[in-house]
A and B are shown apart, each in its own frame.
Chain A
Amino acid sequence: MLNKALNSRLTWLVGLLAFAGTAMADYGLNMTEGVTPFSAEVYELHMIILWICVVIGIGVFGAMFYSMYAHRKSRGVEPAQFSHSTLAEVLWTVVPIAILVVMAIPATRVLIFMEQTTDAEMTVKITGYQWKWKYEYMEDGVEFISSLHPDSNAARQVGSDIDPATVENYLLDVDKPLVLPTNTKVRFLITSDDVIHAWWVPALGWKRDAIPGFINEAWTEINEPGTYRGQCAELCGKDHGFMPIVVVAKSPEEYAAWVAEQQGDAVAETEAAQREWSFDELMDRGSDVYAAQCAACHKPDGTGLPPAFPSLASSAVATGPVDAHIDLVVNGRPGTAMQAFGNLLSDVDVAAALTYTRNAFGNETGDAVQPKQIADAKRG
Chain B
Amino acid sequence: MAQASGGYYVPHGTKWPIVGSIGLTTAVVGAANMLNGTFSSAQAMMFVGFAIIVFMMVGWFGQVIRESEAGTYGHQEDISFRMGMMWFILSEVMFFAAFFGALFYARMFALPWLGGEGTGLSTHDTLWPSFENIWPTNGPAHIGGPFETIPAFDIPLVNTLLLLTSGVTITLAHHALRKNQRTPLVWWLIATVALGATFMYFQVYEYIHAYSDLNLTLGSGIYGSTFFMLTGFHGMHVTVGAIMLMVITYRCMKGHFTPEHHFGFEAVAWYWHFVDVVWLGLFVFVYVV
Contacts and interface: CB of A to CB of B under 8 A. Distances in A.
Interface stretch (B48-56, B85-93, B122-130, B165-173): B122-130
A217 B122 contact: yes
Contacts of A215: 122-123, 126-127
B283 interface: no
Interface in A206-248: 213-215, 217
Contacts of B113: 214
A213 B127 contact: yes
19 contacts: A125-B126, A189-B122, A189-B126, A191-B126, A191-B127, A213-B114, A213-B123, A213-B127, A213-B128, A214-B113, A214-B114, A214-B120, A214-B123, A214-B127, A215-B122, A215-B123, A215-B126, A217-B119, A217-B122
Q: Which of A125, A213, A217 has the most CB of B within 10 A?
A: A213
Interface of A: 125, 189, 191, 213-215, 217
Contacts, number: 20
Contacts of B120: 214
Contacts of A125: 126
Nearest to B123: A215
Interface in B72-120: 113-114, 119-120
Given A189-B122, A214-B127, A215-B126, 11 more contacts: A189-B126, A191-B126, A191-B127, A213-B127, A213-B128, A214-B113, A214-B114, A215-B122, A215-B123, A215-B127, A217-B122
Contacts of A214: 113-114, 120, 123, 127
A184 B134 CA distance: 39
The main secondary structure of chain A at its interface with chain B is strand
B1 to A, nearest CB: 43
B131 to A, nearest CB: 11
A217 B128 CA distance: 16
A125 to B, nearest CB: 7
A283 B114 CA distance: 42
Contacts of A189: 122, 126
The list of the 6 closest CB pairs from A to B, nearest first, reads A215-B122, A215-B123, A214-B123, A189-B122, A215-B126, A217-B122
A214 B120 CA distance: 8
Nearest to B119: A217
Contacts of A217: 119, 122
A189 B120 CA distance: 11
A174 B263 CA distance: 69
Q: Which of A125, A215, A217 has the most CB of B within 10 A?
A: A215
A213 B140 CA distance: 10
Nearest to A212: B127
A217 B121 CA distance: 10
A217 to B, nearest CB: 6
Nearest to A136: B126
Nearest to B122: A215
B190 to A, nearest CB: 49
A273 to B, nearest CB: 25
Interface in B113-160: 113-114, 119-120, 122-123, 126-128
A213 B119 CA distance: 14
A217 B122 CA distance: 8
A191 B120 CA distance: 12
A189 B128 CA distance: 14
Interface string B216-243: 0000000000000000000000000000
Q: Which of B113, B120, B126 has the most CB of A within 10 A?
A: B126
Contacts of B122: 189, 215, 217
Contacts of B114: 213-214
Nearest to B140: A213
Contacts of B126: 125, 189, 191, 215
A125 B123 CA distance: 11
A303 to B, nearest CB: 24
Nearest to A191: B127
B221 to A, nearest CB: 12
A168 B61 CA distance: 70
B138 to A, nearest CB: 14
Contacts of B127: 191, 213-215
A365 B277 CA distance: 65
A138 to B, nearest CB: 9
A214 B119 CA distance: 10
A135 to B, nearest CB: 14
B111 to A, nearest CB: 12
Nearest to B139: A213
Nearest to B124: A215
A9 B204 CA distance: 69
Nearest to A211: B123
A214 B127 CA distance: 7
Contacts of A213: 114, 123, 127-128
Nearest to B125: A215
Q: Which of B120, B122, B127, B128 has the most CB of A within 10 A?
A: B122
A215 B113 CA distance: 10
A191 B127 CA distance: 9
A86 B268 CA distance: 48
A215 B121 CA distance: 9
A213 B123 CA distance: 8
A189 B121 CA distance: 11
A215 B119 CA distance: 9
A217 B127 CA distance: 13
Contacts of B123: 213-215
Contacts of B128: 213
Nearest to A217: B122
A195 to B, nearest CB: 16
B62 to A, nearest CB: 46
A213 B128 CA distance: 8
A123 to B, nearest CB: 9
B289 to A, nearest CB: 25
Nearest to B113: A214
A189 B126 CA distance: 9
A291 B56 CA distance: 58
A234 to B, nearest CB: 18
Interface string B244-264: 000000000000000000000
